[in-house]
């Protein structure tokens, strides 16, 4: 029987769905909080120790949550995922993909580099430089969105139309990530969340709200939506470019009808999407995860 670690300190609905879907496939799963993992680098022990696994390593690792923490804590939690990978344990999504997507600056850079449609974006250390850019955009009739580099669920976002609206350096955590604000059509605000599994876009929904931040955690409504060709193409390209096995891609359409990726998530939630989707997303995700583990194990065995 395959023994799977689900990395999460707050399993909740998603953890339970994964546990059920894994057990349908004959796998046993254990929830593993990264806070309880350690390195033991003496000769007699398993180098990476996961609670519930004793001296053994899991057959696969599904990363469902990385807790907030200090720079040192987060660095170490990513070390654990990297180390498991080094030891031949399949990690889904792997640490490199998570690092790339959790950092909005790197995501924007990689999308831009690959010519994948995304709004213009600037990242500065210096507030004065950021102010100059806001002024320039203001002159061209554009607003900007300030975002924390590691933010999620719409937290800390600020719409900026004038230079003085930029947060101070302490509030900004020292870095100004600025993305051009995308004006959309219609009486209400919405974006699309496209879910990609194993390289294929499998479902989408519209997230609608009265305000411009349309995260489900912020109270947006989830509506079923057609997975059109442009949404499919963009989302699949983005997930591939960031090196993810699966992901959730946030897409807006501007008033000229152009689709643009505003963010890519490597640990996306799917409870909202499941509520408008006719098939079981957790089952599909777990099947892809197990086939990922199987290919990784075959490669490891061949080496
Ligand atoms: N450039 C933008 N133009 C217009 N709306 C945006 C823009 N960036 C973000 N938003 C709105 O804010 C929400 C959250 O932004 P996002 O970049 O996805 O950050 P988070 O990681 O917090 O989800 C988006 O789903 C969208 O509704
Ligand atoms: Mg988002």
Q: What is the pLDDT of residues 238-261, one digit of tens each?
A: 999 999 999 999 999 999 999 999
The DSSP 8-state label assigned to residue 87 in this structure reads: T
DSSP alpha helix (H) spans, the chain? 12-24, 71-86, 95-102, 104-113, 127-139, 229-241, 271-274, 281-302
* pLDDT value for 45: 76
| Euclidean distance between CA atoms 247 and 244, whole angstroms | 7
pLDDT of residue 90: 97
* Whether the predicted pLDDT of 122 surpasses 80: yes
pLDDT of residue 245: 96
Query: Between the CA of residue 138 and those of 58, 176, 217, what are the distances in Å?
Result: 53, 17, 30
- Rounded CA-CA distance 161/197 in Å is 37
Specify the pLDDT at position 300: 72
Each residue's pLDDT tens digit, 151-194: 889 999 999 999 999 999 999 999 999 999 999 888 889 999 99
- In this prediction, residue 38 carries a pLDDT of 95
pLDDT tens track for 29-43: 999 999 999 999 987
Kindly report the number of other CB atoms within 10 A of residue 153's CB atom. Answer: 12
Residue 152 C-alpha from the chain's centroid: 9
Residue 297 has pLDDT above 80, yes or no: no
Is pLDDT of 101 > 90? yes
**CA-closest residue to ligand 1 atom 26:** 213
Which residues surround ligand 1 with Cβ inside 6 Å? 119, 145, 147, 151-155, 157, 179-182, 191, 212-215, 250, 252, 262-263
Q: Is the pLDDT of residue 49 over 90?
A: yes
What is the position in ligand 1's atom list of the atom closest to the CA of 212? 27
Which ligand 1 atom is at minimum distance from the Cα of 190?
Answer: 27
Return the closest-CA partner of residue 257 out of 230, 227, 233, 221.
230
Given a cut of 90, whether residue 149 has pLDDT beyond it is yes
Find residue 32's DSSP bridge partners.
Answer: 7
Model-level pTM?
0.95
247-296 pLDDT tens trace: 999 999 999 999 999 999 999 999 999 999 999 999 999 999 999 999 88
Substitution candidate for ligand 1 out of 107, 223, 250 with most atoms within 8 A of CB:
250
Q: What is the pLDDT of residue 83?
A: 97
- State which residues have CB under 5 angstroms from ligand 2, the bound ion: 250, 263
pLDDT the model gives residue 187: 80
What's the confidence (pLDDT) of residue 1?
Answer: 77
Q: Is the predicted pLDDT of residue 303 greater than 90, yes or no?
A: no
CA–centroid distance, 158 to ligand 1, in Å, is: 10
Domains of the chain, earliest start first? 3-92+283-302 (3.40.50.20), 101-117+184-269 (3.30.470.20), 121-180 (3.30.1490.20)
């Amino acid at each position: 029987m395959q023994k799977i670690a689900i990395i999460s300190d707050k399993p909740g609905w998603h953890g339970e769905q994964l546990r059920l879907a894994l057990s349908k496939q004959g796998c046993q799963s254990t929830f593993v909080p990264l806070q309880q993992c350690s390195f033991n680098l003496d000769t007699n022990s398993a180098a990476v120790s996961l609670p519930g696994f004793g001296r053994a390593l899991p057959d696969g690792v599904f990363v469902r949550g990385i807790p907030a923490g200090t720079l040192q804590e987060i660095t170490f939690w990513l070390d654990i995922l990297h180390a498991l990978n080094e030891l031949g344990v399949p990690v889904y999504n792997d640490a490199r993909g998570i690092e790339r997507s959790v950092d909005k600056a790197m995501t924007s850079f990689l999308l831009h580099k690959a010519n994948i449609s995304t709004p213009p974006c600037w990242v500065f250390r210096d507030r004065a430089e950021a102010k100059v850019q806001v002024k320039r955009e203001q002159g061209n009739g554009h607003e900007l969105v300030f975002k924390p580099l590691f933010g999620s669920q719409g937290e800390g976002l600020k719409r900026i139309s004038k230079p003085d609206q930029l947060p101070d350096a302490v509030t900004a955590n020292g870095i100004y990530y600025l993305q051009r604000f995308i004006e959309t059509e219609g009486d209400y605000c919405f974006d699309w969340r496209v879910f990609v599994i194993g390289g294929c876009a499998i479902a989408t929904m519209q997230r609608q709200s009265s305000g411009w931040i349309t995260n489900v955690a912020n109270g947006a409504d989830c509506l079923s939506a057609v997975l059109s060709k442009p949404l499919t193409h963009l989302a699949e390209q983005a997930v591939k470019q960031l090196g993810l096995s699966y992901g959730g891609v946030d897409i807006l359409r501007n008033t000229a009808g152009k689709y643009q990726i505003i963010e890519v998530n490597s640990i996306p939630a799917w409870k909202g999407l499941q509520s408008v989707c006719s098939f079981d997303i957790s089952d599909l995700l777990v099947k892809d995860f197990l086939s990922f583990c199987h290919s990784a194990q075959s490669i490891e065995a061949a080496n």
